[in-house]
Homo-oligomer: A and B are copies of this chain.
Amino acid sequence: MSGTVVVGLDVGGTSTRATAVTLDGERLGTGRAGGGNPTSHGAEAAARELRSALLAALSGVDPARVRAGVIGLAGAGRLLADPDGRAAFDRAWHDAGLRCPYAVHGDALVAYASGTAAPDGTILIAGTGAIAAQVRDLRLDRVADGHGWLLGDAGSGFWLGREAVRRVLADLDRGETPGPLGTAVLRDLLGSAEVAPRSRDTVDTLIQAVTRRPPVELARLAPLVVTAAVDGEPVARGLVDEAAGHLAASAARIRPAGATTPIVLGGGLLTGDTPLAAAVRAEVRRHWPEAPVRLAGDGAAAAAWLAARDLPEVTDPEALHARLVPTR
């Protein structure tokens, strides 16, 4: 058994996951803590979650064995540009007993590496937001979308939720009774699917229910669209197809036509067995018939692999990926 240990962290908006693993692929520990995105939570709070996840993953592991680490997080560039944020992360690393260096990578790169060891390819993510990125030599190269809910995230959970509400509003404008998806949206937002005698009153109530909350919470409605699409509801099917078109179009902004490198699908909306995942696969096949399609998996393990592959004793990074990163 190799004595060398590497550490990987996947820092997301709602959870932080850490893993400590040997180069043989033996998982020594995992840790989980709260959301640690420094952009949304502040660097200090993010660093606290980081430290907590690290300590859990390293419990029972001699930290001197840890030779390298990678932290994957959204807004990595912003953290690296902020001295206070960097200092907070350095302290968390040190407080966990680690003395080796660590690197910070964008969460999109880590998601990519959780699906493939190929140095070049594309990652396409749809969760609350949506982003596509070209990976070149395991670095993020060009990026498409990820522009946030106000200006972009086309085809994301936010987008699906907003469009679902817009379709109900259009039904109400026309004086038509909302269909199954619209009924589910009304029930979710208003507690009842009953339309007022003046349908404009329901329109106003619906708009107020949405605008009372942060806009990004419209993503909460995405599962209603997915569920309705599974049932074959035509409005939901249409939205899912439109979303898949947007996502593929974002990827096409940065991925050359005819490319044969792998495409990794990530994010809650694309890694499950959902109609959106199927529709995106179909769009991807249409654009890039030769490209293998993989699913993003264990981000913390992928981060650990990204940390390990630069160690001098690693001669076959692809074999190491097979040992460290469970792929689907």
Contact = CB atoms under 8 A, between A and B. Distances in A.
Interface of A: 77, 142-145, 147-148, 150-152, 162, 165-166, 169-170, 173-175, 200, 203-204, 207, 210-211, 215, 250, 253-254
B162 A207 contact: no
Given A144-B173, A175-B142, A253-B173, A162 B166 contact: no
A166 B152 CA distance: 7
A144 B254 CA distance: 38
Nearest to A132: B173
Given A150-B162, A150-B210, A151-B210, 9 more contacts: A77-B204, A142-B173, A142-B200, A143-B173, A143-B200, A144-B173, A147-B207, A150-B211, A150-B215
A148 B253 contact: no
B166 A151 contact: yes
B151 A173 contact: no
12 contacts: A142-B173, A142-B175, A142-B200, A143-B173, A147-B166, A147-B169, A147-B207, A150-B162, A150-B211, A151-B162, A151-B166, A173-B253
A204 B145 CA distance: 11
Contacts of A142: 173, 175, 200
A141 B169 CA distance: 16
A245 to B, nearest CB: 14
A151 B254 contact: no
A150 B210 CA distance: 9
Contact of A169 (B152, B169, B175, B215): B152
A314 to B, nearest CB: 29
A174 B249 CA distance: 11
Given A150-B215, A162-B150, A162-B151, A170 B253 contact: yes
